[in-house]
């Protein structure tokens, strides 16, 4: 019998995506070892990790970005995850990092459409009739890595950015759990 896959979470915010993963692990929907949560700022996701009994690490951004890059690399190398899951981590990872570690990300759009930090706003501004959520591999670009899985979310004519984003978040949380369930079962994505 193979051992559990070791997963590390990167997050910068409230942690709703991280919580969906931690809930799924706790309820045994995904059979993974969560090594910890790393954040680049003192965000609510760190307290969430503590609530779930998961190690948390704060690696604050430095004035010299290369210092932060090195600190992040060292901590992740020490933890030695099989997979890193970026869930609301609002930093572009250095090329050396994505060359060394397997990293996936969630994004609130149907990539390659609407990459970047304002995907929901951009989808509304473009008059799109649908958007969604994507799980993709992280590469050196911004939301340019190979797509692993997607789910569509319709855009209603009267949607505000906040309403649409909330519906996408629900889809995104379910999608990342589905992808990690497959990973836990098969060892591949």
CA distances from 134 to 51, 87, 167 (A): 28, 12, 14
Res 90: pLDDT:
86
Res 3: pLDDT:
84
Task: Please give the DSSP secondary-structure letter assigned to residue 14.
Answer: S
Task: Please give the DSSP secondary-structure letter assigned to residue 27.
Answer: T
Res 1: pLDDT:
40
Determine the Cα–Cα distance for residues 67 and 55; give it in Å rounded to an integer.
Answer: 22
* Cα 49 from chain centre: 15
Res 15: pLDDT:
93
Q: Does 149 qualify as catalytic in the annotation?
A: no
* Active-site annotation holder among 107, 118, 136, 181: 107
Q: What is the pTM of this model?
A: 0.95
* pLDDT tens, per residue, the chain with 189 residues: 458 999 999 999 999 999 999 999 999 999 999 999 999 999 999 999 999 999 999 999 999 999 999 999 999 999 999 999 999 898 999 999 999 999 999 999 999 999 999 999 999 999 999 999 999 999 999 999 999 999 999 999 999 999 999 999 999 999 999 999 999 999 999
Q: Residue 94: helix, strand or coil by DSSP?
A: coil
Determine the Cα–Cα distance for residues 109 and 120; give it in Å rounded to an integer.
Answer: 7
Stated as kind and residue range, the H or E segment containing 89 is none
Q: Which domains, and CATH codes, for the chain?
A: 5-186 (3.40.50.170)
What are the structure tokens assigned to 1, written together?
């019998």
């Amino acid at each position: 019998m193979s051992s559990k896959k070791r997963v590390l979470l990167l997050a910068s915010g409230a942690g709703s995506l991280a919580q969906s993963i931690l809930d799924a692990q706790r309820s045994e929907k995904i059979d993974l070892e969560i090594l910890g949560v790393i954040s680049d700022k003192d965000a609510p996701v760190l307290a969430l990790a503590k609530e779930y009994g998961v190690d948390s690490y704060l690696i604050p951004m430095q004035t010299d970005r290369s210092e932060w890059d090195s600190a992040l690399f060292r901590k992740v190398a020490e933890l030695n995850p099989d997979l890193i899951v970026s869930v609301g981590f609002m930093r572009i990872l250095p090329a050396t990092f994505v060359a060394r570690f397997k990293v996936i990300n969630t994004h609130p759009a149907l990539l390659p459409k609407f990459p970047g930090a304002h995907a929901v706003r951009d989808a509304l501004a473009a008059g799109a009739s649908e958007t969604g959520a994507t799980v993709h591999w992280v590469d050196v670009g911004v939301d340019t890595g190979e797509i692993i899985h997607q789910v569509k979310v319709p855009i209603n004519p009267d949607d505000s950015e906040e309403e649409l984003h909330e519906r996408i978040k629900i889809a995104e949380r379910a999608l990342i759990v589905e992808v990690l369930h497959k990973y836990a079962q098969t060892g591949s994505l």
